[in-house]
C-alpha cells in the first residue's frame, strides 16, 4: 500500500477529512486531490501530514525495528490513544497513572515527615 493510501485509510479511521488536513496544513484541495489520483506529496508535505496525524515514518512505511516491536494489544492501545482528543489523552493518562500507582506503590523510604525532637 502506498503512502497516500495509508494516510487516507488512517484519516478515515479517525474521522479526519481532506478538508481538515488541507485547512490545517495550508495545502490546496487541488494538491490533495492529485495525491489521491497517484501523484506523490513532497517530503516536507509528507512529514507535515505525519506530524499532524501523530504518526511515525516507521508506522507508515512499516519499517521494523527489533527494539520497538509491539504486540497486537500494544498497537491497539496506541491507535486508540492517538484517536483521542488532547483533552481525552490527558484524562486517560491521569487514569493510567492512578492505576500504575495502585499496582506499583512507591516504596517507603523510611523517612518520616514529622520532625523528631531529641
Q: What confidence tens digit (pLDDT) does each residue in 80-90 have?
A: 888 888 899 88
Q: Report how far apart, in Å, the C-alpha atoms of 8 and of each of 31, 32, 47, 87 are.
A: 14, 11, 15, 24
Q: Could you give the 3-state DSSP secondary structure of residue 93? A: helix
Q: What is the pLDDT of residue 64?
A: 62
Q: Which residues of the chain have pLDDT under 50?
A: 66, 113-118
Alpha-carbon distance of 84 to 66, in angstroms, equals 27
Q: What is the pLDDT of residue 76?
A: 85
pTM: 0.52
Amino acid at each position: 500500500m502506498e503512502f497516500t493510501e495509508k494516510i487516507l485509510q488512517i484519516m478515515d479511521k479517525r474521522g479526519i477529512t481532506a478538508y481538515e488536513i488541507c485547512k490545517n496544513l495550508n495545502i490546496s484541495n487541488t494538491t490533495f486531490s492529485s495525491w489521491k489520483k497517484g501523484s506523490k506529496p513532497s517530503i516536507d508535505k509528507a512529514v507535515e501530514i505525519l506530524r499532524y496525524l501523530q504518526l511515525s515514518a516507521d508506522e507508515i512505511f512499516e519499517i521494523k525495528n527489533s527494539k520497538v516491536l509491539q504486540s497486537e494489544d500494544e498497537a491497539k492501545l496506541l491507535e486508540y490513544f492517538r484517536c483521542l482528543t488532547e483533552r481525552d489523552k490527558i484524562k486517560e493518562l491521569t487514569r493510567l497513572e492512578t492505576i500504575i500507582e495502585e499496582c506499583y506503590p512507591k516504596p517507603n523510604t523510611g523517612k518520616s515527615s514529622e520532625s523528631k525532637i531529641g
